[in-house]
Structure 1
Amino acid sequence: MTSPNMFFFLTDQHRVDTLPCYGNRIVQTPWLDSVTAEGTVFDRFYTPTAICTPARASLLTGEAPFRHQLLANYERNVGYTEDLCPEHRAFSRDLREHGYNVGLAGKWHVGLQRTAADFGFDALHMHGWHNPVDLPEYERYLSDRGLPPYRLTDEIRGTFPNGTPGNLLAARLDQGIEATFERFLGDLAIERLRQYAEEFHRDGTPFFLATHFFGPHLPYNLPAEYFDLYDPDDVELPPSIAETFLGKPPVQANYSAHWTFDTLSEETSRKLIAAYWGYVTMIDHEIGRIVDVARELGVYDEAAVFFSADHGEFTGAHRLHDKGPAMYEDIYRVPGVVRPPGGGPTQHRTEFADLIDLTATIDDLAGIDSERATDGNSLLPILRGETPEWRSDYVAEFHGHHFPYPQRMLVTDRYKLIVNPESVNEFYDLVADPYELTNRYGFPECEEIRDAHLALLYRRLRDRGDNFYHWMTSMYPVGGKDYDTSLSSFERHGS
C-alpha cells in the first residue's frame, strides 16, 4: 500500500451529542456529515483522560498518561512533570523518518517548553488552552486585512462561592466571521496545504496535516452569526441537570459551585448550549473550507481523514461546566470519525476505541509498526468492515487539575466502575441509568457484578503496569495476594 495523505482534525472539549452523526437533529455540520457518509462513526469512542495536555500527549506518543507521565495542564499544574521526556516516541517524528511532510495548524498544549516543532511538525507555535488572540501573527493578520481587533460584549458569567464574578462562559464577539481566530487557523492550514500539495504532485511526498481548533472549548466567544445561530428555545437541557450529588464524591458538588451552575438561570443555561452549538457549526464550516481546497488541489479523494476531540464538555450536565474529577460519559466519550483512504463502508461501530487507537492507525497507514503505539490498536480492519478480535472493556484515568485527584475507570458493555481512593467509589448501570444519576456502588443487588468489575479493573491495571493497582490490592475484593505487597524482600512470592 502506498503511503496515503492524511488530514487530522481535532477539536477541544467537544460533546458527541452536538453532532448529527451522534443523533443531534438541530446542529448543522455538513462537512462532518460528508465524512460519515464515506467512513466509520465509533459510537463508543473515548479519551484516555478528560483533560487537554495528558490526552494530547497520549495521542502524540501512543501511550496512556500513567506511562508518558505528562499528567496535568501546565496552567493548573500541581507538581507533575511539565514536559514529555525525550525518550518518549512521537508519531510525528516517525512520519518524518518515513518521508512525510508533517504539519500542524492550531493548538499544541503538550507541555510547557517543547513545541510542536520539537516533535517534527511544521507549525506556528500556539500555547495555552484558549484562542491566543494576542498572538502577534493573528494581530498582523487582522491589521493586514483591515479587520477589527478582538473585542467582547454581552459576557455571560455566574458568581463564585466567594461572591466574585465567575469564569467567563460565553460572549458575543464584536468581529465578523472573516476576523475570527478560527478563520485565521483555517487560512494557516490552507496555506500549509497548498505547499504540501505542490510537493506531493511534484515528487510524490505524502503529507500529514493536522488542524487543531481551540473550540468549542469554553468560553464560547462567537460572532453574532454563530452566537445567535440556534434558538435557545430549541435546546433541551441535559437530563442530568437533575443531579443531586447524593451518594457521589463531594468534589463534584465543589466543582459545580466553582463553575457557578446554580447561579445561572435556566434561560442562561439554554443560551450557553445554543452558543456552544453555534461554535460547533462555525468550526465545521472552517474545516469545510480546508477540505474544499484539498479537493481543488486533487489531494482529498484518496486521503485518510480523522475527526476527534481531546475530551468532552459538561455544558450544564450534572450541574457542571468544563471538565474535572468526575468520570461521566459527557467528558470521556468523544467523537470518533474516520474515513479510510479513498473512502470505506458507511458504518456505525460499537467497539471500544480511543485517541491512542488513532495513533496506531496513523502508524499503520504510513507503513510504521502500529505496535509502537504501546496502548493502542490499529483501526484499519474495522474501517474495512471486518470484525477483528477486539477489547471488550475500556480503562481510563485521571490525575487532577486544580489539585491532585487520582481516579481510574472501567467501562464494559453495560456498566461503569470508578475508583476514587480518597472518597466513595462509583458504579453506574449505563443501560438502566444512561445519564449516570444513581451511584449503585453500595447497592446489595449490584455487589456481585460490582466486585467482578473491581477484579477486572485490578487485572487490567496490573497487566498495563499502572501502579494504581497497589491501592486496590488491600482495599477491595480483587483476589488473593500473589505478590510482595510491601515491595521488599520480607515476603516470599506467593505467600
Structure 2
Amino acid sequence: MTQQPNILFIMTDQQRSDTIAALGNRAIRTPTLDSLVEEGIAFSNCYTPSPVCVAARSATITGLPPHINGCASNNESPMGRRSIMQVLQGCGYQTHGIAKMHFNPETEALWGFDSRDISEEGARGPGSRNDFHRYLSENGYDHVLEPQGIRSELYYIPQPSQLPAHHHHTTWVADRAIDFLQERDRERPFFLWTSFIKPHPPFEAPAPWNKLYRAADMLPPRRPEGFEQLLTYWNRRQNRYKYRDKGYDEMLFRAMKAIYYACISFIDFNLGRILAALGDEIDNTLIVFTADHGELLGDYGSVGKRTMLNPAARVP
C-alpha cells in the first residue's frame, strides 16, 4: 500500500470464534473467510471488550473499554466520546456505515459517518427511519413485521425465514456495500463499516441456506463438570426461552447450531460478493473481519452471551 489505504470493516453480531473452517472447524463452510485467514492474519485469542452488543460496539468505536467510556451494557452510547469515524474523517476519509450500529438511544445518529444505510434489528415501528424496512415495502414485503425473524418465545428456536434469499437482510447489507463501492468519491480513501445482524437470534436463514446443515451432524454442546456455578444471573434469565422446567434438549441445541452455521455461511457468501466488488482496489484496502461478541449456543447448558466464558467472549 503506497497511499492511504481504504478500510473495509466487517462486523457480524454474536459470532463465536470457532465458526471458521480454516481455523479448525470442519463442520462449517466458510470459503471467503478461509481465504482471508490464508492471505492475512487471524488472531486466535481475540476477546470482546464486553459480551453485550451496545457496550462491545461502543468500546470498538471509541477505543476505550466499557469502564472508561461509560457504556457497560445495552445502555446509552457514549456519543460525547470521539469515534474512530470522526478520527478518519479528520484524515480525509469518506465514512459510510451500513446496517446495525446499535447507537442508543439515537439510532439514526451519524457519530462521524458521512452517510448511513440504517437498519437496526427488531420489528417495524412507527416514526423511525429504517432503510431496510422501506426497501421491503417497496418490494412487496410490507406485511412482514419481523423481517429478521420472530422474537419473543421463539427467539432461540430455529425458524424458517419469512423472506427469500435475494431480499434477506444479509443480502441487503451486501447490496448496500456494493452500491457504496460503485458510487463512492474516488478522490478520497474510504472507511466502510459493514454490519451484519446475523447470526444474532432469531435463528433463521433463507432457503436453500437453511438446509445446508443437518442437526444430526452437529456436535453436542460442551457441558463441563460444575458448569452451573459459572453461569451469571443473565444466563439463567435468558434460559427462560427453553428451561422453564430446567430441562435439557440436546437435539434442540444441535438444531440451533445447524441454523446458526447456516446464517454464517450465508454471510460468508455475501462477503465474497463484497470483496469481488472491490476489484483492483482490494490491494489497497485493509480488510478487518470481527464480531461484537460470541454466543454460548448450548455450551454450559446455556444460550446467549453476557458472560466472559469463551464461547460468548472470544470472537474472530
TM over 0.5: yes
Once the two structures are TM-superposed, the CA of residue 124 in structure 1 deviates from its matched residue by 2.7
- How far apart, in 2, do the equivalents of 1:148 and 1:274 lie? 29
Please give the residue correspondences for 1:150-229 in structure 2 after superposition, counting only pairs within 5 Å: 150=144, 165=153, 167-196=155-184, 199-200=185-186, 203=187, 205-229=188-212
- Give the 3 Å change call, closer, same or farther, for CA 99–37 of structure 1 in structure 2: same
- The match for 1:62 is 63
Aligned to 2:103: 110
CA distance in 1, matches of 2:92, 2:303: 43
Specify whether residues 37 and 245 from structure 1 end up closer, same or farther in structure 2 by C-alpha distance, changes over 3 A only. Answer: closer
Spell out the pairing of 1:1-12 with structure 2 (5 A cutoff). Answer: 1-12=2-13
1:106-143 superposed Cα distances (whole Å, 9 cap, x missing partner): 1111321264413334103334xx35666653344234
Q: 1:137 pairs with 131, 137, 141, which one? A: 131
Amino acid at match of 2:297: T
Aligned residues: 309
Report the Cα distance in structure 1 between the residues aligned to 2:227 and 2:199, rounded to whole angstroms.
Answer: 27
In structure 2, distance between residues paired with 1:167 and 1:146: 25
Q: Identify the match of residue 274 of structure 1 among 246, 249, 258.
A: 258
Structure 1 gap ranges (5+): 75-81, 158-163, 336-495
Structure 1 residues 260 and 35, CA, compared in 2 at 3 Å: closer, same or farther? same
The answer to whether the 8 Å contact 2:8/2:287 transfers is yes
| Structure-2 residue corresponding to 1:17 | 18
Query: Following the alignment from structure 1 to structure 2, what is the Cα–Cα distance between the partners of residues 265 and 246?
Result: 16
| Paired position in structure 2 for 1:419 | none
> 1:131·1:214 contact (CA, 8 Å) conserved in 2?
no
Question: Which letter maps to 1:311?
Answer: H
| Local SS of the residue matching 2:158 | strand
1:293 equivalent in structure 2: 277
Q: Which amino acid aligns with 2:77?
A: D
- Check conservation: 1:105, 1:188, Cα contact below 8 A: yes
Structure 2 residue aligned with 1:230: 213
* Cross-structure match for 1:52: 53
- Determine whether 1:314 maps to 2:299: no
The 2-side partners of 1:100 and 1:136 are apart by 25
Q: Report the Cα distance in structure 2 between the residues aligned to 1:16 and 1:85, rounded to whole angstroms.
A: 29
Whether contact under 8 Å (2:58, 2:77) holds in the other structure is: no
Cα root mean square deviation, aligned:
2.7
| Structure 1 position 57, deviation (Å) | 0.7
2-structure distance, mates of 1:218, 1:289: 24
The separation in 1 between residues aligned to 2:240 and 2:225, in whole angstroms, is 16
Mapped partners of 1:230, 1:256: distance in 2: 25
Report what 2:112 is aligned to.
119
TM-score scaled to structure 1, two decimals? 0.57
Q: Deviations over 1:380-410 (max 9, x none)?
A: xxxxxxxxxxxxxxxxxxxxxxxxxxxxxxx
The offset of 1:254, in angstroms, is 2.8
% of aligned pairs identical? 29
- Give the conservation status (yes or no) of the 8 Å contact 2:205–2:263: yes
Which residue, 291, 308, 313 being the options, matches 1:332?
313
Is contact 2:97–2:194 with CA below 8 Å preserved after alignment?
Answer: yes
Q: Work out which of the two has the higher radius of gyration on C-alpha atoms and give 1 or 2.
A: 1
- In the alignment, residue 105 of structure 1 is paired with which amino acid? I
Which structure shows the higher strand fraction? Answer: 1
Q: CA deviation at 1:270?
A: 1.0
Structure 2 SS opposite 1:304: strand
Counterpart residue type for residue 330 of structure 1:
P
Query: C-alpha deviations, 1:182-220, integer Å up to 9, x for none?
Result: 111111111111122xx22xx3x1111110011101111
Classify 1:270/1:255 alpha carbon distance in 2 versus 1 (closer, same or farther; 3 Å). same
Q: CA offsets, 1:27-63, max 9 Å, x none?
A: 1111111211210011101111111111101111110
Runs (5+) with no aligned partner, structure 2? none
SS at match of 2:49: coil
Does the CA-based 8 Å contact 1:151-1:174 persist in structure 2? no
